[in-house]
Structure formats: structure tokens, C-alpha cells
């Protein structure tokens, strides 16, 4: 069994090496493919012909092009780039959650015109407010504003930084720790509370989380995740949540989640992921 392992960086990192090591034990030939260094169309297509499955292990946007290419040539990708546009798109994710009754913070899509965006925020009237570009990873396009003028400056900064005027949402700010549930094959396999200290203490997602500890899974969270996974077709994901009072609210779902919050779980999560990949590959052989 051959599985292409999409990753990014100067070289295969420690997690990638663990993937290769554990895959070998399971009879899987894992073929690491660096999306940053290898850009040969013919070379990648040739690799595809001999593989059973493609696993995208990186959150880099560039990897989506390889994932889409793999699907064009009839290969199954875990997870499909099609899901990126319905779950990584933060506005569309909010819309889907509202449709299926999954609790989320109040959110609005801001007009492109700055003056109209300021009026929409004043009508929304939930201060402070969190501004997010609809696409973005690692918390790079997420900032908090205390008033409409401050929000306008953040919007301009997002547009200058990103070199294009992508849509921006405004979300009510919830005073809560950031909770992460890692889900593999529909089951919660790890939970962590992500905490941060210093100037970005309110932002504990992405690169900003510094301290991690487990939290228990209650019935409400199990129900929420089960409902969520009924319409989010991601096999391996990280679910970010917060709490408003005693109730869970969903923030977002991330494909290609980090496995290294707790080192004691690192190999365990990789092992579960490989079991899932092997199972999906075997389905294709039937």
C-alpha cells in the first residue's frame, strides 16, 4: 500500500518522521512529498499513478493545488480540498452551523465599503468584536477591535497585508479559554485547553497558544461534535470551541490539525491517523 504524504517546510520534520516510522510498521509505504520544493507536474502525476491515497498533512494553502490535482486524476485525498471551501471559509462555516443548529458566536459578513462596514458594526453593537478574514491560518488575520474606527483600521491592515480585499467577518468576542477537540473518524480522541500570556493573551489559537492541558468531554460536547460531523466531511480535524456561561460555542474546524499539543499523545494520534488512512485506502480496493 502506497500513500503520498503532502507536507511543507525545508525538510521532513519530527512529526513527518514519526509518520514514516509508524507507517512502515503497518505495511504502508509513505511517500513524503514537499509541496514547497517539488513543483514538477509530470513528476507528481507519475507518483499519483502508483499510489492508493493522498494525505494532506499541511495547512499551507499551496498544498490545496496538489490535493485538487490528485482528485482530478481520480485519487482520493484525505481530506478533500472540497471541504476547505465549506469549513475553512469562516463565513460559510457559520452559515452551515446556523442551518444545522450548531451553536456558534453571533457573526456578520461585513460590506467591502469601509463606511458601510462601520455602520454594520455599529448596528451589530457587540463590543469588543473579533474581525477575521474568511480565509486564513495560524490566527494571522484575526484581530480584536473595541470600536468602529479601530475596526476600520484593522480592515485596512488586513487588505494591505494580504494584498487583496478578501471578505471579512465580525464575530462577538467571548470571554473564554480556547478549547480544542481533535477528532479522527468522527470520534473525539484528544482535548486541550489552549492558554496564552502577554499582549495576545485573548488569542490562544494557532501559534499563540503556549500552555495546554486536558479537559473532560461532557454530553453536550459529544452531542455538538456528532451534529457537526454529520455535515462536515473531514476525517481528521481540530475543532476550536469556547464557552459562553456553561454552554459550548463552536469557533471553527481545521483540517490538518496539530498533533503536538501534548507530547504524550503525539504518536498515539499519528497511529490513529494511519489506521484511518489505511482503512480508507482498503475501501478503494474493494
pLDDT in tens, 99-111: 999 999 999 999 9
pLDDT at 138 exceeding the cut of 90: no
pLDDT at 215 exceeding the cut of 90: yes
Per-residue confidence (pLDDT) for residue 84, from 0 to 100: 73
Which whole number is the average pLDDT over 203-219? 74
- CA 29, CA 23: separation in Å to the nearest integer? 7
Order across the sheet with 107-109: list the strands. Answer: 107-109, 168-172, 129-133, 142-145
- Residue 286's pLDDT band, with cuts at 50, 70 and 90, is confident
Do the beta carbons of residue 174 and residue 105 sit within 8 Å? yes
Per-residue confidence (pLDDT) for residue 87, from 0 to 100: 73
Provide, rounded to the nearest whole percent, the portion of the chain with pLDDT above 90: 71
Do the beta carbons of residue 193 and residue 178 sit within 8 Å? yes
Do the beta carbons of residue 192 and residue 180 sit within 8 Å? yes
Per-residue confidence (pLDDT) for residue 199, from 0 to 100: 47
- CA 142, CA 124: separation in Å to the nearest integer? 18
Express each pLDDT in 20-70 by its tens digit.
Answer: 999 999 999 999 999 888 667 888 898 899 999 999 999 888 888 999 999
- CA 232, CA 246: separation in Å to the nearest integer? 25
pTM of the model: 0.89
- Sequence-distant (6+) residues with CB within 8 A of 121 are 110, 129, 145, 148, 151, 170
Domains and CATH numbers, the chain: 2-78 (3.40.50.20), 85-89+175-264 (3.30.470.20), 106-172 (3.30.1490.20)
- Residue 139's pLDDT band, with cuts at 50, 70 and 90, is confident
Name the nearest CA neighbour of 77 among 283, 277, 286. 277
Q: How many CB atoms lie within 10 A of CB 167?
A: 15
Question: Which letter does DSSP use for residue 5 in this model?
Answer: E
Per-residue confidence (pLDDT) for residue 40, from 0 to 100: 74
Express each pLDDT in 239-253 by its tens digit.
Answer: 999 999 999 999 989
Per-residue confidence (pLDDT) for residue 55, from 0 to 100: 97
pLDDT at 233 exceeding the cut of 60: yes
Which whole number is the average pLDDT over 187-212? 70
Per-residue confidence (pLDDT) for residue 285, from 0 to 100: 84
Amino acid at each position: 500500500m502506497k500513500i503520498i504524504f503532502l507536507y511543507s517546510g525545508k525538510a521532513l520534520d519530527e512529526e513527518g518522521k514519526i509518520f514514516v516510522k509508524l507507517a512502515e510498521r503497518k505495511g504502508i509505504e509513505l511517500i513524503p512529498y514537499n509541496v514547497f520544493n517539488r513543483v514538477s507536474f509530470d513528476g507528481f502525476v507519475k507518483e499519483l499513478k502508483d499510489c492508493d491515497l493522498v494525505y494532506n498533512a499541511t495547512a499551507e494553502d499551496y498544498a490545496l493545488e496538489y490535493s485538487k490535482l490528485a482528485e482530478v486524476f481520480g485519487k482520493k485525498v484525505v481530506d478533500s480540498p472540497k471541504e476547505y471551501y465549506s469549513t475553512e471559509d469562516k463565513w460559510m462555516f457559520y452559515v452551515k452551523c446556523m442551518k444545522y443548529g450548531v451553536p456558534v458566536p453571533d457573526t456578520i459578513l461585513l460590506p467591502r465599503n469601509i463606511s458601510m462596514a462601520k455602520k454594520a458594526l455599529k448596528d451589530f453593537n457587540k463590543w469588543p468584536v473579533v474581525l477575521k478574514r474568511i480565509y486564513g491560518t495560524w490566527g494571522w488575520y484575526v484581530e480584536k477591535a473595541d470600536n468602529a474606527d479601530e475596526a476600520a483600521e484593522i480592515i485596512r491592515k488586513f487588505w494591505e497585508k494580504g494584498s487583496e480585499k478578501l471578505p471579512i467577518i465580525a464575530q462577538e468576542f467571548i470571554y473564554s479559554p480556547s478549547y480544542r477537540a481533535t477528532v479522527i473518524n468522527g470520534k473525539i480522541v484528544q482535548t486541550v485547553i489552549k492558554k496564552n500570556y502577554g499582549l495576545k493573551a485573548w488569542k490562544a489559537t494557532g501559534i499563540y497558544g503556549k500552555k495546554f492541558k486536558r479537559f473532560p468531554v461532557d454530553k453536550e460536547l459529544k452531542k455538538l461534535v456528532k451534529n457537526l460531523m454529520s455535515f462536515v466531511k473531514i476525517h481528521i480535524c481540530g475543532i476550536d470551541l469556547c464557552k459562553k456561561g456553561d454552554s459550548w460555542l463552536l469557533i471553527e474546524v481545521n483540517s490538518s490539525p496539530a498533533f503536538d499539543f501534548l507530547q504524550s499523545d503525539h504518536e498515539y494520534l499519528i497511529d490513529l491517523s494511519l489506521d484511518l488512512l489505511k482503512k480508507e485506502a482498503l475501501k478503494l480496493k474493494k
